[in-house]
Amino acid sequence: MDVTLSRAYRRHMDSFWPDVDRHLVRYSGAGSFTPEIIEKAAGSYVFTADGRRVLDFTSGQMSAILGHSHPEIVATVQRQVATLDHLFSGMLSRPVVDLARRLAESLPDPLDKVLLLTTGAEVNEAAIRMAKLVTGRHEIVSFARSWHGMTQAAANATYSAGRKGYGPAAPGNLAIATPNPYRPDFRTPDGELDWHRQLDFSFDLVDAQSVGSLAACIVEPILSSGGVIDPPPGYLAALRRKCDERGMLLILDEAQTGLCRTGTWYAFERDGVVPDILTLSKTLGAGLPLAAMITSTDIERTAHDRGYLFYTTHVADPLVAAVGNTVLDVLERDKLDVAAADLGAFLRQGLTDLADRHEVIGDIRGRGLLIGLELVLSRETREGADALGAAVTRRCLELGLHMNVVQMPGMGGVFRIAPPLTCTRAELAEGLDILDRAIGEATR
């Protein structure tokens, strides 16, 4: 870089953070941005303006499951944007129909009708809207630590954050207790979570509050923003029965768990449950804005007969649909469900070894390459450690590892670890070494 360019670059860098302060809306509750300027990303790493390489243990926003700038994704975008990128919403293209067919083929019957949109909030909005129309009811049930998005119906079904200060939520949104095995509210005689009794109690309250218009229950198979909470085996099947007893639809939000991340193609496979409506988002676009709502022919037909309307600017866009097809190509060819299970076991063992050395590690949970690590002040009391989580996060970044603490009230000691499915054991080991050092220094 010549002297003139170097001076211009320094002037640009000097203005960056003042421009952030002057011009950017702060869009997270924490109100702060990561104190690094990211210039590029490749594979499992992002690269800062000052030349540092940072291992990305969050896959961007838990989305880049094939890593950053995957060559096949890059080639697809370059080819597709040069031929067919965007259409009038009533027009169709081959990538859209191909992706819909392939998603249906990857799922059990009767999930065979697909609507392609852009974000998780948007497909959850579409799913809730469809459930209300098909059932003729309006009440929606979700977990008390749920996160389904920031648009209207999705935000009304979100309880982990963002509810205060915006006026009344829509009538008919009801919360049920979150089945958190590490922090049980209903206990068996041996102190474990009694989720059967908790679920019965939750629906006793739902029935008491309902005005007789229960439409659907929307849940994540693993609550991600809620603290990477994995409901016990059998829970989803019991929840399915509660819904069936009341004539409710079951909507599963697999924004972060779908498409191989948990070691299976879909997280609901573990419990042998098939939802009435499935939503996919983050992982489907591998970092690009692509999402899908998938339901049965019967539900889609009823919705259509009743005039179902969900019309957006970017519904069924060919550019991102082509990317979705490439994502499926790579997942299938490279058997990334198997890879996620194998790498997840390696990661979990590494975190277990860290727990042997660091008393502040209270719990390790999750499946595949979606792991939660909870820091506590005491293993006996399980008191949360928000300040420690923030300190470890800062030190990890200084040492070259981006770790994401759950940005919800009271959960600042819970790390959400979700590296790309294309990562290597060496990269996981590098991250574990940095985390080991950061925890040791923060607790010294």
Give catalytic residue positions: 147, 220, 253, 256, 282, 416
Give me 398's structure tokens: 């200084």
Q: How far apart (Å, rounded) are the C-alpha atoms in residues 418 and 59? A: 6
Q: Are 79 and 425 in contact (CB under 8 A)?
A: no
User: Which residues pair with residue 238 across a beta bridge?
Assistant: none
Q: How far apart (Å, rounded) are the C-alpha atoms in residues 18 and 202? A: 49
Q: How far apart (Å, rounded) are the C-alpha atoms in residues 286 and 61? A: 10
Give me 261's structure tokens: 């991340």
User: Exposed (0-12), middle (13-18) or buried (19+): which is 182, by Cβ within 10 Å?
Assistant: middle
123: nearest Cα among 234, 289, 5: 289
CB neighbourhood size of 372 (10 A): 25
20: nearest Cα among 2, 5, 36: 36
CB neighbourhood size of 139 (10 A): 23
DSSP string, 91-157: ---HHHHHHHHHHHHTS-TTEEEEEEES-HHHHHHHHHHHHHHHHT--EEEEETT----SSHHHHHT
Give me 395's structure tokens: 């030190």
Q: Distances in Å between the alpha carbon of 154 and those of 234, 278, 279, 404, 436? A: 26, 14, 12, 23, 37
DSSP string, 58-74: THHHHT-TT-BT-HHHH
Q: How far apart (Å, rounded) are the C-alpha atoms in residues 30 and 32? A: 6
Q: How far apart (Å, rounded) are the C-alpha atoms in residues 125 and 130? A: 9
Q: Are 383 and 377 in contact (CB under 8 A)?
A: yes
Q: How far apart (Å, rounded) are the C-alpha atoms in residues 366 and 269? A: 15
